[in-house]
């Protein structure tokens, strides 16, 4: 139990320092602006910081089950509320501390895979699921395991 607290507490503190916490009103203003571009991501979202938090979350969970980046986000940060901004053509996933559009998921997935490769302590093994699922890279399951 102490080990979990020692590992998770710095992650939570780091996340609170890195992430731009927005109130519902501020988040609502962001969602209603014309600046929200579904093809370039949400302004102010630090994809690398979210990827780092996901990486640390994956390290402390059971690493023998297949999971996608998108599913890991929902597990690590809680299921998002889905909003459909007026005048928008897509939807926004509103987590407790940040909002994302599909393009953000691609950037977070890229940052997570780069981090896994750079750290070289773990691997994202897609071999068990490579023939089972096709789609966006952030929805393809992988097994996060120690690098042998």
pLDDT, averaged in runs of 10, over the chain (148 residues): 56 46 41 54 91 95 84 95 83 92 94 96 85 76 89
The candidate with the shortest Cα–Cα distance to 126, out of 143, 111, 106, is: 143
pLDDT of residue 39: 62
Q: Alpha carbon of 68 to those of 3, 54, 94, 109: distances in Å?
A: 26, 11, 19, 9
- Determine the structural domain holding residue 82 and report its residue range: 2-146
Question: Can you read off the two tokens belonging to residue 33?
Answer: 């602006």
| Total number of domains constituting the chain | 1
CA distance 8 to 106: 25
């Amino acid at each position: 139990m102490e080990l979990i607290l020692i590992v998770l507490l710095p992650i939570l503190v780091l996340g609170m320092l890195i992430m731009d916490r927005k109130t519902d009103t501020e988040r609502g203003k962001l969602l209603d602006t014309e600046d929200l571009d579904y093809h370039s991501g949400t302004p102010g979202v630090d994809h690398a910081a979210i990827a780092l938090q996901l990486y640390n979350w994956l390290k402390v969970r059971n690493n023998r089950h297949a999971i996608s980046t998108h599913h890991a986000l929902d597990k690590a940060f809680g299921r998002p509320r889905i909003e459909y901004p007026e005048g928008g053509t897509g939807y926004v996933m509103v987590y407790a501390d940040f909002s994302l559009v599909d393009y953000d998921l691609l950037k977070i997935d890229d940052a997570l895979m780069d981090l896994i490769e750079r750290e070289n302590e773990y691997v994202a093994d897609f071999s068990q699921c490579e023939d089972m699922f096709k789609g966006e890279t952030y929805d393809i399951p992988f097994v996060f395991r120690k690098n042998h």
